[in-house]
Amino acid sequence: MDLVIRDTRVVDGTGGASYRADVAVAGGRIAAIHREGDGRRPGGSRVLNAHGLALAPGFIDMHAHSDLALLRDPGHEAKAAQGVTLEVVGQDGLSYAPVDDRTLAEVRTQITGWNGDGHDIDFTWRSVGEYLDRLDHGFGGKGIAVNAAYLVPQGSVRMLAVGWERRAATAEETGRMKRLVAEGLEQGAVGLSSGLTYTPGMYATDAELTELCRVVARYGGYYCPHHRSYGADALRAYEEMVTLTREAGCALHLAHAVMNFDVNKGRAPELLGLLDTALAAGADISLDTYPYTPGCTTLVAMLPSWAGEGGPEAVLARLRDDATAERIRRAVEVEGADGCHGVPIDWDTVEISGVADPGLADHVGRSVARCARERGEEPWRTARRLLIEDRLGSTILQHVGHEENVRTIMRHPVHTGGSDGILHGEKPHPRAYGTFPQYLGRYARELGVLPLEECVAHLTSRPAARLRLPDRGVIRPGFRADLVLFDPETVAAGATFEAPRTLPTGIPYVLIDGRFVMEDGRRTDVLAGRAVRRTPVG
């Protein structure tokens, strides 16, 4: 054997009771599991005494925004140190493939707040397959820090086929979008994502989305929507996604399935009741959440959908025009813009977490309301000026969540873990560095919201099943040796809102394909990650 992990508590990812065993690894896969009484214990080139540590399958981050970080940072400790061995990127309907020269420039501007403007990235790809190949051959052909799967982003597809017009797609445009989605799936994408509070994806009708989901279903993928509201119309928005995917015969995975804003306090059971009814009727549904109450997005996302028509430069032109900017202000502050989930914005809840222009760094860590008070001006004036001067590149935390909703949803049997981690910005959300140890330490050990074995299943086998990965997510002979060793008594998220880039504690070893990417709590130079492509139907 290449490696024997001796005397460890195996939490195998199934949700069943943990047990003590030796686990042997050879050729990048789990070769044997030796329990007490099984006979002669296996030997290996290396034996790691893991007494006091739990061994779990590698954690799968079902909602990640590492699309460029994987090509920018070979260490990628934000995820490797958490025990994440696979991330799903291409989220919220906006990413960098498929694109052409025009739409690449547009999407780079639109999601600067998520990933930076990409000036340090050589965008040699245009198709989904070319992006996945680039991941495989990152950093001089060595690979990337962790594995990555990709969702075809519906907003980026709509940019290519329709542009930034706020209207229904024509039959010809819908046909082109269907072909682009099919090509992405054929090239290895695992499904389709949408950002239905982000332009231009939010301009899509349900009929258009249903047609795209029919394509996804044909390839055995899944639809992952950031749906039309997490606020005033949240339940109706969830029901909309359930209905259209049932009609399309497509699996549904609800992205960051939260119930936010005051209108939804204590209403998580209503969401779960809706899902249980659909599941009982035969729907294929799963969801992910992060174990925190604030959300994170871009400041420009708060604007009404009509303000985004025409693309980023058109947005900036509208903000510079006093009369149009006043219309935007009224939509955001009085009416409740669709970009802010139909709820009038409370600027005290909107904290600036990152800016593209270093000259605006004094805003970071403060709410828009506080920045406005310090300048003796109204909050909209501050927000408008920041949007213009930062060219839409500002990122925010939005403090609108409810702890009881977070706990209730994470208990559901179809729940999985997703960080929704934006790594860019001076003060990112701590979920980017802390989601998985936060589940294990705070919610499993300290609060007892989930038993440890069940918590690990939510982070491993359940997402692997959604991704249709036949040899990941469970500790079993023949499965890939993507493994995490952690101390159940001490594992904890180090990241806080004050120090969001602090690494976790209690996760000393992480392996991908049997190679140590974390050893003795430190990142090695191993680049064992690769693109994980869709498993073909049949």
Per-residue b/e over 205-229, b at no fewer than 16 CB within 10 Å?
eeebbbbbbbbbbbbbbbbbbbbbb
Q: What is the rounded average pLDDT of the residues 404-426?
A: 96
Query: How buried is 28 (Cβ within 10 angstroms: 0-12 exposed, 13-18 middle, 19+ buried)?
Result: middle
Q: Give tens-digit pLDDT for 478-504.
A: 999 999 999 999 999 999 999 999 999
What are the structural domains of the chain? 59-293+401-467+476-523 (3.20.20.140), 298-399 (no CATH)
Cβ–Cβ under 8 Å, residues 213 and 252: no
Q: Could you give the CA distance from residue 533 to residue 501 in angstroms, rounded to a whole number?
A: 30
pLDDT above 70 as % of the chain: 100
Question: Rg for the chain (alpha carbons), in Å?
Answer: 23
Check pLDDT > 80 for residue 538.
Answer: no
User: Helix or strand or coil: residue 483?
Assistant: strand
Per-residue b/e over 129-150, b at no fewer than 16 CB within 10 Å?
bebbbbbeebeeeebbbbbbbb
Q: Give tens-digit pLDDT for 117-149.
A: 999 999 999 999 999 999 999 999 999 999 999
Cβ–Cβ under 8 Å, residues 221 and 192: yes
Q: What is the rounded average pLDDT of the residues 355-362?
A: 95
What is the sign of the dihedral through the CA atoms of 154, 425, 440 and 449?
Answer: negative
Per-residue b/e over 314-335, b at no fewer than 16 CB within 10 Å?
ebbebbeeeeebeebbebbbee
Check pLDDT > 70 for residue 435.
Answer: yes
Q: Give tens-digit pLDDT for 36-92.
A: 888 899 999 999 999 999 999 999 999 999 999 999 999 999 999 999 999 999 999
Check pLDDT > 70 for residue 242.
Answer: yes
Q: Whose CA is closest to 483, among 514, 452, 445?
A: 514
Cβ–Cβ under 8 Å, residues 305 and 336: no
Q: What is the rounded average pLDDT of the residues 18-27?
A: 98
Torsion of CA 394, 399, 401, 406, to 10 degrees: 80
Q: Could you give the CA distance from residue 199 to residue 60 in angstroms, rounded to a whole number?
A: 28
Q: What is the pTM of this model?
A: 0.96
Q: Could you give the CA distance from residue 122 to residue 385 in angstroms, rounded to a whole number?
A: 31
Q: What is the rounded average pLDDT of the residues 311-337?
A: 97
User: Helix or strand or coil: residue 452?
Assistant: helix
Q: What is the rounded average pLDDT of the residues 352-356?
A: 94
Which strand (E) or helix (H) includes residue 233? none
Query: How buried is 280 (Cβ within 10 angstroms: 0-12 exposed, 13-18 middle, 19+ buried)?
Result: exposed
User: Mean pLDDT, the chain, as a whole number?
Assistant: 97
Angle subtended at Cα 522 by Cα 517 and Cα 527, rounded to the nearest 5 degrees:
25
- Please, what is the end-to-end C-alpha distance for the chain in angstroms? 33
CB atoms under 10 Å from CB of 309, counted, come to 18
Q: Whose CA is closest to 351, among 416, 293, 277?
A: 293
Q: Give tens-digit pLDDT for 261-318.
A: 999 999 999 999 999 999 999 999 999 999 999 999 999 999 999 999 999 999 999 9
Query: How buried is 60 (Cβ within 10 angstroms: 0-12 exposed, 13-18 middle, 19+ buried)?
Result: buried
Q: Whose CA is closest to 1, among 39, 33, 27?
A: 27
Beta-strand ranges (E) seen in 358-514 are 395-398, 415-417, 483-486, 509-512
Beta-strand ranges (E) seen in 122-189 are 147-153
Check pLDDT > 90 for residue 402.
Answer: yes
Q: Could you give the CA distance from residue 537 to residue 241 in angstroms, rounded to a whole number?
A: 23
Q: Whose CA is closest to 35, among 46, 44, 24, 47?
A: 24
Check pLDDT > 70 for residue 414.
Answer: yes
